[in-house]
Structure 1
Amino acid sequence: MEFYQKLKKLRAQKGWSQEEFAEKLQVSRQAVSKWENGQGFPETEKIVKMSRLFQVSLDYLLKDEDQALGESRTTDEGYYASQEVVEAYLLNKKQGAKRIAIGVAILIASILLPMYFQEAFGYVLFMMIAAVGVAILVWQGLSVKQYKELETQPLVFDDFFIQEFRQKSMDNRKRYGILIVTGIVIIILSFGIPFLTNDTDRSNIDPLLAVMPVIWAVAVYLFIISGSAMEGERLITNNEEYVKENEEYEKSSKHGWIHAVIWPLAAVIFLAIGFIWNAWHPGWLVFPAAAVVTTAYTAWKSSRD
């Protein structure tokens, strides 16, 4: 299949008209029409942009082969993942993790609003900000899941690429480790803030307490970003181990409903403790308790299966 045939096929698969595709490339519709009729060839810059828009490799666009990214390209050993495919996957995962981290951070930071604004206004403001965080998480949850093949099948890589990637991944892990340790340290330090305040009643809440939810939000953001990046890179560097763990996770996921019940319930209890009794500081203990309950239940059910 020649370039102009691939171009027309890929555009049709995306459901874009020539006008829409031309707008994305910042060219005229006539230029797209000429390319698809085999009467011209785009500049290198435009081909690179097409590769990103269609999520296919440059090799696929330029060489005489008929295997696009996202189509099944497997060997006896596994699914072939080119450098372009791996980089696109990691970028997609990074963007998704950033949206999740922002949504969760907003939810956590919003806790301080009812603590520092009087009565109904504080609650309304809290609900509005929390709704933004929930909307971001729902948006991410409803997003189309791409690169499913990479996360569920054994992968085959070019030797030179995988060696270079593993070296870069080792360097990155040090950076991710520093971010995670930073998050842990600032959370531990945040629990010392109540001892520096004079929070005797709701009418005189020390402003220092507002720092605690913000610190937790920042720490969780670091955890999610770093953890997602490490998981994505481990999929590539230790693929066989990752695939086995994924298979085991799929088997155990039938007990995952407990997480969907316990964690929202823990959040409701925490907010109730804070709003009704103004006990935000010991109230956070419901989350470690929820973690213990879910872990114990999952272990018990797994042992019985």
Structure 2
Amino acid sequence: MTFGEKIQKLRKEAGLSQEELSYQLEVSRQAISKWERDNGYPETEKIVRMSKLFNVSLDYLLNEEDTQKPEINPDEKGIYVSREMADGFLAYQKRKMIKIGIAAGLFVGGLSLSFWDAEISMILFMVVVILGIILLFSVKLADNPYRKIWKESLSFDKTVKSELTAVYADKKKLAHILNLVGIALIAIGFLLCPMIVPAEMYVLDNIVFACGMVLAGAGAFLCVYMAGIVRAYRVLIMNEEYHENRK
């Protein structure tokens, strides 16, 4: 069995498409296709990464006479996550949560338009809602090359996991502060603003109500975005606990 045939066999057994494997190895899909057709050969670093990704030895990958698939370590099951793959996953999650957070902010903040008397306010409100729906559908329909990270166990180099843990410790403090800010903005928008101006002052009361909804929308964005980022870090560094909680 040639090197290319082994790569193709291992990829299919792992349930990965060429595109998904290319994301994990930080190469193009065309490169994977060439390797599988034995028209090219990956760098040593990529071979080592595939060895860890597929849980096979380097000898198995490099020795064409070896047709058995020995595991490198039965205690280290799961997808191998390099620092590059972890950074790519986190960057993808940030882009995703920005869209979801903006959609949540638009849905809540868009309520400010309901306090306008003009007929165009309803049209503008519907436009805002449609924009939010489009953002959510763009997230749902987008290709997610990292979906297996949420579903399967992960394996790391010790240095990679320690680095991610250190970054998470710093991010967690900021996330806690921003979550509190978001909750405060939502509380101000929904609870405090309606009480500031007497109902008799109709025009000013509507303006304050509208401003309150905008503040609540900003708070919704912060809460949704930070919750998604914290969850992404946790699935990486607390992978075993995450999967146990899902069972």
Q: What's the CA shift for 1:66?
A: 5.0
What is the Cα-based RMSD across aligned positions, in Å?
2.9
From the superposition, tell whether residues 130 and 65 of structure 1 become closer, same or farther in structure 2 (CA, over 3 Å).
Answer: closer
Match of 2:147 in 1: 148
Q: Which amino acid aligns with 2:231?
A: E
Identity over aligned pairs, percent: 20
Q: Which residue of 1 aligns with 2:165?
A: 166
The change in CA–CA distance for 1:243 and 1:83 in structure 2 (over 3 A counts) is same
- Corresponding position: 1:179 with 2:160: no
Cross-structure match for 1:226: 226
Per the alignment, residue 135 of structure 1 pairs with 134
Matches within 5 A, 1:62-101: 62-63=43-44, 65=46, 73-74=54-55, 76=74, 77=76, 78-101=78-101
* Residues 107 and 61 of structure 1: CA distance in aligned 2, closer, same or farther (over 3 Å): farther
The amino acid across from 1:218 in the alignment is A
1: CA distance, partners of 2:53 / 2:188: 50
Distance 2:101 2:42 in 1: 35
One-letter amino acid matched to 1:62: E
Shift of 1:162: 0.9
After superposition, the C-alpha distances for 1:216-250 in whole angstroms (9 at most, x for unaligned) are 1111111111111110111111110011123x2xx
Q: Corresponding residue for 2:13?
A: none
Structure 1, unaligned runs of 5 or more: 3-12, 15-49, 249-305
TM-score scaled by length of structure 1: 0.57
* Contact 2:53-2:80 at 8 Å conserved across structures: no
Aligned residues, how many?
196
* 1:35-87 superposed Cα distances (whole Å, 9 cap, x missing partner): xxxxxxxxxxxxxxx94766x9xxx9532755888x96346322211111111
Answer yes or no: is the 8 Å Cα contact 1:104–1:133 preserved in 2: yes
Matched residue type, 1:221: F
- Rounded to whole Å, the distance in 2 between the matches of 1:240 and 1:133 is 34
Task: For 2:45 and 2:182, locate their aligned partners in 1 and report how far apart those are by CA, in whole Å.
Answer: 49
Quote how far apart the aligned CAs of 1:167 are.
Answer: 1.5
* Ranges in structure 2 where 5+ consecutive residues have no aligned partner: 5-17, 20-24, 32-40, 56-70
Question: Partner of 1:145: helix, strand, or coil?
Answer: coil
| Partner of residue 120, structure 2 | 121
Letter in 2 for 1:217: G
Question: Secondary structure at 2:54's aligned position in 1?
Answer: coil
